[in-house]
Amino acid sequence: MLDCAIIGGGPAGLTAGLYTTRGGLANVVMYEKGMPGGQITQSSEIENYPGVTGEITGMELMMPWPEQCQRFGLKHEMVEVTRVSKSESGHFLIHKLDGTTEEALSVIVGTGSTPKKAGFVGEETFFGRGVSTCATCDGFFYKGKEVAVVGGGDTALEEALYLAKICAKVYLIHRREQFRAAPNTIERVKNSGNIELVLNAVPEEVYGDKMGVTGIRVKFQDGSTRNIDVPGVFTFVGYNVNNEVLKQDDGSFLCEVNAWGEVVVDISMRTNVHGLFAVGDMRIAAPKQVVCAAGDGATAALQAIAYVDEILNG
């Protein structure tokens, strides 16, 4: 029986691993289907992790994290978890892709979320070289320059407003006339002064050279096209929350999730199921930043320690 099972080895899961083991839990396993580190390892530069100065890639940032955890006894199993359920004894059951299961007193899930692709030519080729899905992460690289934002939901409009404070101009490209964002957000975008609306326009291609993106071509409903020359294109066309491990055989979720599949947690990262915590990008209102995911991991770990202590010692 594990004291704690951690699903996902990104910044949230690794920090949960550090705090649970260093905080006294004896038998903790982190299940990660790939190499630990999470999605930040795809980033060529991270500038906003506190205390880390100088040019550093996401991979370099995350490199020491697993070793630090292992020093305090965290075990790492490289396997995909297919499901977390409740066993007859009331404990958690971890189902693994290799067909084996493990019982755990507490579970911290930090499997992240994945931004959806818009599907235009060049999106993959230029990802990380001018195409981005994170304004907080990459907006600063375009300080004083012009950028394009693709999407018409709350995320696209809020991120366009964020970028408009840093960049000279933002082209907001949306495939319809109407936005699906909240009315007051739409109003703020319209009043911003440096956001140009490019409506009824579908992104066709992001083009560039070996240095990166130089522009985006959009196609309007009447068939005409326009080239918008910008060094940065931000796409916000929705997210897939990686919540599959919480799905049960009957299709329901083990704990409460909202309409978009984000796990509902309280300020201590507790779900509505005792002993089950959700951390990082997969939880409601996640800022989707490494520092925040790490903070969630620490918060959940402290709660998990208290929870396990109560079960074992009353």
Residues that bind ligand FAD (CB under 6 A): 7-13, 31-34, 38-40, 42-43, 46, 48, 80-81, 110-112, 128, 134, 137, 242, 245, 280-281, 288-291, 293
Q: Which of 164, 27, 37 is nearest to 94 (CA)?
A: 27
Q: Which helix (H) or strand (E) holds 132?
A: strand 131-132
Nearest approach, Cβ of residue 49 and ligand FAD (Å) = 6
Residue 238, interface with ligand NAP (CB under 6 A)? yes
Q: Judged by CB, which is closer to ligand FAD: 189, or 242?
A: 242
Catalytic residue flag (residue 138): yes
Distance between CA 217 and CA 206 in Å, rounded? 6
Nearest approach, Cβ of residue 39 and ligand NAP (Å) = 16
Nearest approach, Cβ of residue 84 and ligand FAD (Å) = 9
Amino acid at position 171, single letter? Y
Are β-strands 169-173 and 146-150 bridged in parallel, bridged antiparallel, or unpaired?
parallel
| Ramachandran angles phi, psi of 67, nearest 5° | -65, -40
- DSSP at 117: P
Amino acid at position 192, single letter? S
Distance between CA 54 and CA 269 in Å, rounded? 32
Q: Are 140 and 167 in contact (CB under 8 A)?
A: no
Per partner kind, with CB cut-offs from 5 to 8 A, the member of ligand NAP, ligand FAD, none near residue 21 is none
**81-120: contacts with ligand NAP (CB under 6 A):** 118-119
Identify the residue among 58, 110, 139, 152 touching ligand NAP (CB under 6 A).
152
Active site residues: 134, 137-138
Residues that bind ligand NAP (CB under 6 A): 118-119, 150-156, 158, 175-176, 180, 236-239, 260
